[in-house]
């Protein structure tokens, strides 16, 4: 299908067609209607958001003999000349390639002449921040005493590079990035009227990729259509744009929330089979955790979130299932591990490790789970009291109420049993340690500098996990503190021939091994 690029055929021709910049178009229209126009305007904003389009509409409206309520008629010679870029009265100058003093001097010579047809000579200078300082100074002189028949419209993506002396002589309008939903709406309209078949999810992918620029969205659409023809399949779109399938991202977050490790491995496999960029995938995953968090916290999520409507419900549902703590934990973890991917020689393994770890992050329990666990715990306490109590930490004074309020030793052992059901290795490592204090709000464990236990819990992940388990078992504000005193249970003194150093014992514990020979 032969066509002009969409960005050109779909350039807005009246103020109402300019999307997302109503704050600007309304002001300009009413200024035109009441004839209260500035001599110079500065349009700032990202590329592809409508600066040039509005400049042209304004230039046309200024010169149109037959304006329609502030809009150009787009039918007279003046209007059509400007649309086609052949008007002598309206000139567009590219600031980037006409940066010097000479060009501005020429312009100043030109300005003297009255317009040949219309009422105004209009100079549109694009990327005005590129002008040299002498050029700016020459321009400033004109701006200080502008002839009545001249209007300037400056456009720039970098307004901070425009000298304040120039800025102060312009009426400034800041063009906004266009919201995702409006971009999607517009490219849907374009495809419908151009007879292109494309699904809503595909449109939303293009809109997201455009990051607020309508022109970018239109150019992406060009790219896709020139590859696929008038019928765009979702899979083709992904291929052309090299975009990570949204379903895969949702599948990942769900697997992480469910703690489903095997699905995580499948996902990594899929990423490799499709040949996705791992970093791109990681970026998308982080963005989606951010979305999940925002969807829980924001009053009006659809305004802050860059999530298309068709994803909003599922995003909210997942977020509610996971809960805020869990999501924050996951996002923090992703942020902390980003560097792992960058520096590894094997990104696949690194990604697998990260996803597996994420899927194993402590689950925050639902209320029902919690009640269930409390039942089990109570049973255990009652039973161990009936069995004659645990081997250590018997406190005669407390015996009357010990089923309800277990003393430190019992609490410690009960916790170890619980930990053992969650993380055997960690429980084994802690088994030899008794907390020096176990109070209502915290336990203190001897650090044992240099020991295996110490180095194990030096890893912030392990420590965090321990805290998480302790909080799950005791209560949400429970603290775990390693005290820097010397080790309470030590074998430093008695390293007789047959004694195994403590570190080795620890290792044997974790791997449930035994020493076969000693040479
Ligand atoms: N706000 C907008 N509303 C509708 N279309 C837009 C808008 N902004 C950009 N476009 C599309 O992008 C093309 C280029 O826009 P343009 O006005 O030249 O952007 P800028 O000058 O800000 O880079 C337009 O022809 C139009 O197709
Ligand atoms: Mg432009
Ligand atoms: Zn006209």
pLDDT (tens digit per residue) in 40-55: 999 999 999 999 999 9
Question: 273 and 314: one domain?
Answer: yes
- Cβ of 11 closer than 6 Å to ligand 1, yes or no, is yes
The protein residue whose alpha carbon is closest to atom 11 in ligand 1 is 215
Does 74 reside within a domain?
Answer: yes
CA dihedral 61→67→73→75, nearest 10 degrees, is -100
* pLDDT per position as a tens digit, 281-336: 999 999 999 999 999 988 777 777 767 777 889 999 999 999 998 899 999 999 98
Q: What whole-number distance in Å separates Cα of residue 126 and Cα of residue 94?
A: 5
Question: 63 and 158: one domain?
Answer: yes
Sequence-distant (≥ 6) Cβ neighbours of residue 245 within 8 angstroms: 238, 274
Does 519 reside within a domain?
Answer: no
The protein residue whose alpha carbon is closest to atom 17 in ligand 1 is 50
What distance lies between CA 152 and its chain's CA centroid? 39
| Residue from 158, 214, 222 nearest 181 by CA | 214
Buried b (16+ CB within 10 A) or exposed e, 187-222: bbebbeeeebebeeebbbbbbbebebbbbbbbbbbe
| Residue from 251, 248, 247, 238 nearest 209 by CA | 238
Domain that holds residue 211: 180-241
Question: 227 and 314: one domain?
Answer: no
- Cβ of 176 closer than 6 Å to ligand 1, yes or no, is no
| Residue from 491, 512, 362 nearest 429 by CA | 512
Q: What whole-number distance in Å separates Cα of residue 75 and Cα of residue 196?
A: 29
Question: 490 and 406: one domain?
Answer: yes
Cβ(169)–Cβ(162) below 8 Å: no
Bridge partner residues of 92 (DSSP): 124
pLDDT of amino acid 65: 95
Cβ(115)–Cβ(146) below 8 Å: no
Q: Which of 359, 379, 406 is the last residue of a domain?
A: 359
Q: What is the CATH number of the domain that holds 34?
A: 3.40.50.300
Question: 161 and 34: one domain?
Answer: yes
Is 361 a residue whose pLDDT tops 90? no
Question: 115 and 38: one domain?
Answer: yes
- Cβ of 50 closer than 6 Å to ligand 1, yes or no, is yes
Count of beta carbons in the 10 Å neighbourhood of residue 498: 7
Q: What whole-number distance in Å separates Cα of residue 269 and Cα of residue 316?
A: 27
Spacing, Cα 126 to ligand 2 middle (Å): 6
Spacing, Cα 486 to ligand 2 middle (Å): 70
DSSP H or E run through 172: strand 171-174
Question: 167 and 186: one domain?
Answer: no
Residue with tokens 């400007």: 82
- Cβ of 25 closer than 6 Å to ligand 1, yes or no, is no
The protein residue whose alpha carbon is closest to atom 7 in ligand 1 is 50
Give me the number of domains the chain comprises. Answer: 4
Question: 150 and 12: one domain?
Answer: yes
Tokens of 388: 């004659």
Q: What whole-number distance in Å separates Cα of residue 430 and Cα of residue 219?
A: 60
Say whether 41 sits in a helix, a strand or coil: strand
Question: 458 and 335: one domain?
Answer: no
- Cβ of 20 closer than 6 Å to ligand 1, yes or no, is yes
Q: Which of 15, 128, 214, 222 to mutate to test the pocket of ligand 1 (most atoms within 8 A of CB)?
A: 214
Q: Tell me how many degrees the CA angle 418-419-423 measures, rounded to the nearest 5.
A: 135
- Cβ of 428 closer than 6 Å to ligand 1, yes or no, is no
Question: 387 and 480: one domain?
Answer: yes
pLDDT of amino acid 165: 95
- Cβ of 56 closer than 6 Å to ligand 1, yes or no, is no
Cβ(63)–Cβ(90) below 8 Å: yes
Sequence-distant (≥ 6) Cβ neighbours of residue 314 within 8 angstroms: 250
* pLDDT per position as a tens digit, 463-478: 888 998 888 888 888 8
Quick one: which atom of ligand 1 is closest to the CA of 49? 8
Grade residue 375 by pLDDT with cuts at 50, 70 and 90.
low
Is 418 a residue whose pLDDT tops 80? yes
- Cβ of 71 closer than 6 Å to ligand 1, yes or no, is no
Cα 237 to Cα 41, 198, 215, distances in angstroms: 40, 9, 18
- Cβ of 10 closer than 6 Å to ligand 1, yes or no, is yes
Spacing, Cα 191 to ligand 3 middle (Å): 29
pLDDT of amino acid 406: 43
Does 271 reside within a domain?
Answer: yes
Question: 123 and 70: one domain?
Answer: yes
Q: Which of 174, 209, 227 is the last residue of a domain?
A: 174
Q: What is the CATH number of the domain that holds 211?
A: 1.10.8.60
DSSP H or E run through 188: helix 180-193
Residue with tokens 């501005």: 104
Cβ(467)–Cβ(443) below 8 Å: no
Quick one: which atom of ligand 1 is closest to the CA of 21? 1
- Cβ of 508 closer than 6 Å to ligand 1, yes or no, is no
Share of residues in the chain with pLDDT > 90 (%): 51
- Cβ of 12 closer than 6 Å to ligand 1, yes or no, is yes
In this structure, is the dihedral angle defined by the CA atoms of residues 213, 218, 224 and 226, taken in order, positive or negative? negative
Does 517 reside within a domain?
Answer: no
Q: Stretch 242-270: mean pLDDT, rounded?
A: 92
More confidently predicted of 456 and 448:
456
Torsion region of 115: left, alpha or beta (phi above 0 gives left; psi -120 to 50 gives alpha)? beta
Q: Where are the beta strands (DSSP E) in 202-282?
A: none
Ligand nearest the Cα atom of residue 92: 2
Does 390 reside within a domain?
Answer: yes
Question: 336 and 468: one domain?
Answer: no
pTM of this structure: 0.60
Does 105 reside within a domain?
Answer: yes
Does 50 reside within a domain?
Answer: yes
The protein residue whose alpha carbon is closest to atom 24 in ligand 1 is 11
Buried b (16+ CB within 10 A) or exposed e, 66-88: ebeebbbbbebebbebbbeeebe
- Cβ of 52 closer than 6 Å to ligand 1, yes or no, is yes
Ion ligand 3: residues, Cβ under 5 Å: 64, 72-73, 76, 79
Mean pLDDT of all residues belonging to the chain? 83
Q: Which of 174, 191, 213 is the last residue of a domain?
A: 174
Q: What whole-number distance in Å separates Cα of residue 179 and Cα of residue 168?
A: 30
pLDDT of amino acid 415: 86
* pLDDT per position as a tens digit, 98-149: 889 898 888 888 888 899 888 999 999 999 999 999 999 999 999 998 899 9
Cα 73 to Cα 51, 151, 427, distances in angstroms: 20, 20, 80
Cβ(83)–Cβ(13) below 8 Å: yes
Does 518 reside within a domain?
Answer: no
């Amino acid at each position: 299908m032969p066509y002009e690029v969409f960005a050109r055929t779909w350039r807005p021709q009246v103020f109402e067609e300019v999307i997302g910049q109503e704050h600007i178009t309304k002001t300009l229209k009413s200024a035109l209607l009441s004839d209260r126009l500035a001599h110079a305007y500065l349009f700032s904003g990202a590329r592809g958001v409508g600066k040039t389009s509005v400049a042209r509409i304004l230039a046309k409206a200024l010169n149109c003999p037959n304006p329609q309520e502030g809009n150009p008629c787009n039918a007279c010679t003046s209007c059509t000349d400007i649309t086609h870029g052949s008007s002598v009265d309206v000139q567009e100058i590219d600031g980037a390639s006409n940066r010097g003093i000479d060009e501005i001097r020429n312009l100043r010579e030109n300005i003297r002449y009255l317009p040949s047809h219309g009422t105004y000579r209009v100079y549109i200078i694009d990327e005005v921040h590129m002008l040299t300082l002498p050029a700016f100074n020459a321009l400033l002189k004109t701006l200080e005493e502008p002839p009545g028949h001249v209007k300037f419209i400056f456009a720039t993506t970098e307004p901070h590079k425009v000298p304040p002396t120039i800025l102060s002589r312009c009426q400034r309008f800041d063009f906004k990035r266009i919201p995702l939903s409006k971009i999607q709406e517009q490219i849907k309209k374009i495809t419908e009227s151009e007879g292109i078949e494309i699904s809503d999810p595909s449109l939303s992918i293009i809109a997201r990729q455009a990051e607020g620029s309508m022109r970018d969205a239109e150019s992406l659409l060009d790219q896709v259509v020139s590859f696929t023809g008038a019928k765009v399949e979702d899979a083709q779109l992904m291929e052309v744009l090299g975009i990570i399938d949204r379903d895969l991202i949702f599948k990942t977050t769900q697997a992480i929330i469910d703690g489903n490790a095997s699905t995580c491995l499948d996902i990594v496999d899929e990423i490799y089979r499709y040949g996705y960029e791992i970093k791109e995938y990681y970026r998308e995953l982080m963005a989606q955790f951010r979305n999940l968090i925002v969807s829980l916290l924001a009053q009006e999520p659809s305004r802050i979130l860059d999530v298309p409507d068709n994803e909003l419900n599922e995003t909210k549902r997942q977020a509610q299932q996971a809960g805020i703590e869990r999501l924050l934990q996951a996002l923090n973890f992703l942020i902390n591990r980003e560097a792992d991917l960058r520096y590894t020689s094997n990104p696949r393994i690194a990604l697998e490790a990260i996803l597996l770890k994420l899927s194993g992050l402590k689950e925050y329990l639902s209320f029902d789970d919690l009640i269930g666990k409390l039942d089990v715990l109570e049973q255990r306490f009652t039973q161990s009291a009936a069995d004659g109590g645990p081997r250590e930490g018997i406190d005669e004074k407390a015996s009357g109420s010990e089923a309800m309020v277990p003393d430190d030793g019992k609490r410690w052992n009960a916790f170890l049993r619980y930990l053992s059901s969650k993380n055997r290795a960690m429980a084994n490592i802690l088994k030899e340690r008794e907390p020096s204090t176990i109070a209502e709000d915290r336990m203190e464990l001897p650090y044992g500098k240099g020991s295996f236990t110490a180095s194990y819990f030096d890893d912030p992940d392990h420590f965090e996990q321990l805290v998480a388990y302790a909080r799950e078992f005791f209560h949400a504000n429970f603290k775990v503190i390693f005290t820097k005193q010397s080790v309470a249970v030590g074998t430093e003194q008695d390293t007789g021939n047959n004694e195994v150093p403590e570190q080795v014992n620890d290792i044997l514990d974790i791997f449930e091994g035994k020493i076969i020979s000693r040479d």
